[in-house]
Amino acid sequence: MADTNHASLVRYAWLSIAAALVTIVLKTGAWRITGSVGLLSDALESLVNLVGGFMALAMLSVAQRPADDDHAYGHSKAEYFSSGVEGSLILLAALSIGVAAIGRLITPRPIEQVGLGLAISVVAALVNLFTALLLLKVGRKHHSITLEANATHLLADVWTTVGVLVGVGLVVLTDWERLDPLVALLVAANIIRTGTGIIRRSISGLMDTAIPGEERQRIEGVLSHYAREGVQFHALRTRQAGARRFVSLHVLVPGGWTVQRGHELLEKIESDLRGELPNTTVFTHLESLDDPASWHDITLERNEGPGI
């Protein structure tokens, strides 16, 4: 099922690339027609979208590979590299926009053929909006940080276009030419905020951050059902790796249980957890409620019991 999901996600990466190509052509045309540095900044961000789309395609293709001898836990973490690179490219685009805007502040120039340029930009914004909403929906459904980062960037691009359109319109109404580069600088600041957020999330994933609190509560809800039957749990650990979650825990049962009975319980617990949270790999460790050593084996670096 995971491979099927990833194959589907790769198709959405191609959609992102197609949308980026269309908007680059449209926005570059709008900039060439008007000479607006704000529209130039908008076109530069779409260029970043294109590079990010190809990076997403590459990393989603890697992430769908099955586990092997060198990557026993799969390749799902490759998605974090994609989002990290896209976040870095966003910051680079913001720098380029800032340089262009400062130059235009020093030497302002009039904007030409505003009506046609704005109309083209509106079409480009609608293309990005449709693509972003679709990618965001699919990314959240399949827990793909790559598609979510791509969608977040496209949505920021839409707001960038809106800001630029407002700025260009105000230039026409007020004849204050420096308003155009000032809007471009505001756009650059917003892009920096977006890029920083994407990079922060990528770093969190690479650092094996625990799954969200709401999902951990769902795990604890499953375990509480068994706890009412006298079974206990501890050493619950979770982490997220792209679209896949990893959960490990210790299950404590009466010492008189047979191995078969304990094994059957673990199989049932693991099945219930996977049913509650799809795309989850569960590791369980069986321990005896009657063995004092069981109560010391709860940290990542095991604490040995007394006298051991």
Residue 4: the pLDDT is 43
- Residue 98 pLDDT class (50, 70, 90 cuts): confident
37-51, 116-130, 134-148, 286-300: which range is least confident on average?
37-51
Within 13 Å and on the Cβ side, how many CA atoms surround 302? Answer: 9
∠72-75-78 over CA atoms, to 5°?
145
Which amino acid, 144?
A: S
Residue 187: the pLDDT is 75
In this prediction, residues 287-298 reach a mean pLDDT of: 83
C-alpha to C-alpha distances, 117 to 112, 124, 183, nearest whole angstrom: 8, 11, 16
In this prediction, residues 134-138 reach a mean pLDDT of: 89
pLDDT reading at 274 higher than 90: yes
pLDDT reading at 50 higher than 50: yes
pLDDT reading at 246 higher than 50: yes
In this prediction, residues 205-223 reach a mean pLDDT of: 86
Residue 38 or 218, more confident: 218
Q: Answer whether 15's CB lies under 8 Å from 150's CB.
A: no
Q: How does pLDDT run across 6-25, given as a tens digit for each residue?
A: 557 788 888 889 998 998 89
24-38, 75-89, 122-136: which range is least confident on average?
75-89
**Angle of the 259-276 helix axis to the 213-227 helix axis, nearest 10:** 150
**Percent of the chain whose predicted confidence (pLDDT) is above 90:** 20
Q: pTM for this one?
A: 0.62
* 3-state secondary structure at position 204: helix
Domains in the chain (CATH in brackets) are: 2-206 (1.20.1510.10), 213-295 (3.30.70.1350)
172: which residues sit within 8 A by CB, 6+ positions away? 111, 114
User: How many other β-carbons are positioned within 10 Å of the β-carbon of residue 6?
Assistant: 22
Residue 303: the pLDDT is 56
Residue 2: the pLDDT is 44
Could you please report the per-residue DSSP string of 71-117? -TT-STTHHHHHHHHHHHHHHHHHHHHHHHHHHHHHS------HHHH
